[in-house]
Structure 1
Amino acid sequence: MRETLAQILFEPVRIGTLDLPNRIVMAPMSRRFSQDGVMPPAYVDYYRRRAAADVGLILSECAGVDHASARRLPSYPSFHGAEALSRWREVIDAVHEAGGRMMPQIWHAGATKIAGSEPNPQVDPASPSGLFMPIDGQGGDAVMATRPMSDSAIADVVAAFGQAAADACALGFDGVEIHGAHGYLIDQFLWPAMNLRADHYGANGAESATRFAAEIVAECRRRTTPDFPLFFRFSQWKQQDYAATLASGPAALEALLRPLVDAGVTLFHCSLRRYWEAAFAGDPLTLAGWTSRISGLPVCTVGSVGLDTAFGAQDRGTGDGYRSRPASLDGLVTLFERGEFDLVAVGRALISDPLWAQKVRQGRIDAHKPYSTADLETLY
């Protein structure tokens, strides 16, 4: 007998040592309301509101580690410093009081930080090969952002991620997510078009391309506990190129994932623009499905869940910004029944409708609110 959506999504699940009441995750959508890296008090209620409305696990927006070039703008939160960490403690205490679970997503912007921009305009961006954009393959010049990172600079970033994980553990968070997707620093090392190094961190082989990411995972594991949940988010697509790929097939994906499994990842978070799309030609499995099969670890999927347009698409002429309407969730049932993933992350829909998960549990999917970019102007 085919299970209902609510039955599937509200089945409890254990991820490592973390018990979750359901399969719904709040995706780490950037809101950028921080002042010099410190979140305003409104974030406390923002996250608590969703925890109280049946979201099983909350992933925070990306938060910069303690490295001078980690954040793109002052409005991104920091995950270091007494004032910033004090606010993060308020957030996790509020989420726990509401019965929720939460992890910060720790992050380094890499070459997406524009040279000379705040914060720390005197500090150059970080990049494996000095590139901001890949060489276009059409005879054009590479878009240079900075100098390639030295081994000592790489070690500093690895240590900063480890410290952030240690702070998250000490503050009482339920784990951390390492942001290795979307063309940011870790992903720039994984992405052959951006990593032109010829050394032991180069992309000339899958193991060396993954070395930086694996060192970060291992350092986060070393600085926490053997069972502290470590999620790793990765993507085929990049903000610099929606059509980019890290892995051309299952063998390449296995070469990417295996060092991260060995380093101590608990769960892989597979970021897609459309969660239902097949990863490779000739097989219907999604990226999440292949990741589950290859790694043997729990997997979270994400990408336009419950909305009728993909992330980054434009729907003009509505009069109040780009809008995306609620869409059927039947595809989730099919993929859950195929065992392709264990958790499903919801991003834009939960920005506009904090009661999204609660309405699913109650069978009130038709009451979901549409998403509008106008909703990004407030923190509710």
Structure 2
Amino acid sequence: MTDSASLFAPLAAGALSLPNRIVMAPLTRARSTRDHVPTPRMATYYAQRASAGLIISEATGISPQGLGWPYAPGLWNAAQVEAWKPITAAVHEAGGRIVAQLWHMGRVVHSSVTGEQPVSSSATTAPDHAHTYEGNQPYEQARPLGVEEIPGLLEDYRKAARNALEAGFDGVEIHGANGYLIDQFLRDGTNARTDDYGGSIENRARLLFEVVNAVVGVVGADRTGLRLSPNGDAQGVIDSNPEPLFAYVATELEKIGLAYLHLRESRPGGTFRPSDQAPLAPVIRKHFTGALILNGDYTADRAAATVAAGEADAIAFGRPFIANPDLVSRIRTGAPLNAPNPSTFYSQGDEGYTDYPVAVPA
């Protein structure tokens, strides 16, 4: 049995009171409608996993422009808000806590999904291919987001944050990781701008902090989290010198007082975008004293050891939560884990979504 005691201490992350330190990572599952409206089966799915100390919702679009993943949910209109309400209510009725992850994909959308050319920090094209309703298609070249468009983008974040509160979420997490729009501005591998949003570290981080402050102005810092992926390549987004960049970001975030910072870090041999760039969590930990959540191929043993050593305050699990709705109980008891079925990760039905079995009590 795993010595998991460190994972079961409560944690205060701003105004969020977590009963344990096992967090459900955001997981795109493609169970919404083609109009990006959540569906009733999503209430069952999330409620099944409500024993997590905190559920971070699947990435949820702030606008039609920024949501290019088929059947992913949004939070920009009234129908979406109303459809989220029974989902958050089901989680709360099961004793859980859930925050909405706010998402703009930037250059990794496809015009066949959004109806317009993708936007990014600069005129670049992502590697590989886009997932669309018509199957995989090559990514298209993005156009640089105009400075005059940024106020509208910030208002999209504010509106989505207001909608998240109306829908019953306990807070929000801003998606600034994994090669999406904020990350495309932040790291120099994709940001070739020469205006106030490009060049220096301070300029490249400008959009990030404008978004953070916009959301904090709606939700409050103590109910706002941020996800970053500070090391390695993420969909072609990488930085040539990440340590000073993310040390600066962490230092400035400390002044804002966010509820938590959530890091998705790649590792050599990892299952998700492995990298030989060193993890930067130890550097960030020196500059950010708020709750720190780490994510990246953690086993229960490594998670417990990391929290016990004070290297993080909580650990986010992704794929283990897909196949194990009772993951918290399984970690506590040492029960074996179900294996996930990748063929159903992005399908639209209940199979591989709400039908994974729970462990039989001893």
Q: TM-score, normalised by structure 1?
A: 0.81
Change (3 A) 1:287 1:372: farther
Q: 1:175 to 1:348 in 2, by over 3 A?
A: same
CA distance in 1 between partners of 2:245 and 2:32 (Å): 38
2:357 corresponds to: none
User: What's the offset of the Cα at 1:289?
Assistant: 2.9
1:234 corresponds, among 223, 228, 236, to: 228
**In 2: Cα distance, 1:17 partner to 1:73 partner:** 31
Structure 1 contact 289–339 (Cα < 8 Å) conserved: no
**Counterpart for residue 12 of structure 2:** 14
The equivalent position to 1:206 in structure 2, one of 187, 201, 225, is: 201
AA aligned opposite 2:46: Y
Name structure 2 gaps, 5 residues minimum: 128-138, 355-362
Equivalent residue number for residue 65 of structure 1: 62
Query: SS in structure 1 opposite 2:23?
Result: strand
5 Å-filtered alignment, 1:215-226, equals 215-225=210-220
Taking only the aligned residue pairs, the percentage that are identical comes to 32
- Decide which of 369, 372, 376 is 2:338's aligned counterpart: 369
Q: Identify the residue that residue 355 of structure 1 maps to in structure 2.
A: 326
Is 1:188–2:181 an aligned residue pair? Answer: no
How many pairs are equivalent? 332
Shift of 1:55: 1.1
Per-residue CA deviations over 1:249-273 (Å, capped at 9, x if unaligned) read: 3x33212323333345321110023
Deviates more, 1:233-242 or 1:290-299: 233-242
Distance 1:73 1:172, change over 3 A: closer
- Partners of 2:303 and 2:4 in 1: how far apart? 11
What is the alpha-carbon distance in structure 1 between the residues aligned to residue 176 and residue 61 of structure 2? 13
| Corresponding position of 1:29 | 27
Provide the alpha-carbon RMSD of the alignment: 2.4
Q: How does 1:1-380 map to 2 (within 5 A)?
A: 5-35=3-33, 36-51=35-50, 54-66=51-63, 68-114=64-110, 116-119=111-114, 121=115, 123-133=116-126, 145-202=141-198, 204-225=199-220, 227=222, 229-235=223-229, 236-241=231-236, 244-245=238-239, 247-249=241-243, 251-274=244-267, 286-306=279-299, 329-364=300-335, 367-376=336-345, 377=347, 378=351, 379-380=353-354
More deviation in 104-113 or 355-364? 355-364
- Structure number with greater CO (CA < 8 Å, separation at least 6) is 2
- Unpaired runs of 5+ residues, structure 1, are 135-142, 307-328
Number of the residue aligned with 2:358: none
Amino acid at match of 1:369: N
- Structure-2-length-normalised TM-score: 0.85
